[in-house]
Amino acid sequence: MAMKGTKLPQRPKRRPKIIEKTVSQQKHRGLKGMESIDSDSD
C-alpha cells in the first residue's frame, strides 16, 4: 500500500480501535519513527 505520509486519503474518521491500532503500527513502521515522535502519545 502506497502509504508514505501519515495523513490518510479522504476516508471516514470513524475507525474501529483494532484498525486504529493497526494503522498506528504500520504508520510507525513505514516512517521508522520519523513521525513516531508526534504519534508516540497516540
Alpha helices (runs of H) in the chain, residue ranges in sequence order: 17-31, 36-39
Per residue of the chain (42 residues), what is the pLDDT tens digit? 555 666 666 666 666 677 667 766 666 565 555 555 555 544
pTM: 0.23
Whose CA is closest to 7, among 37, 39, 40?
39
Contact by Cβ (8 Å): 40, 25: no
The shares of helix, strand and coil residues in the chain, as percent rounded to the nearest 5, are 45, 0, 55
Instruction: In whole angstroms, give the CA distance from residue 24 to residue 20.
Output: 6
pLDDT value, residue 28: 56
Instruction: In whole angstroms, give the CA distance from residue 35 to residue 13.
Output: 20
pLDDT value, residue 42: 45
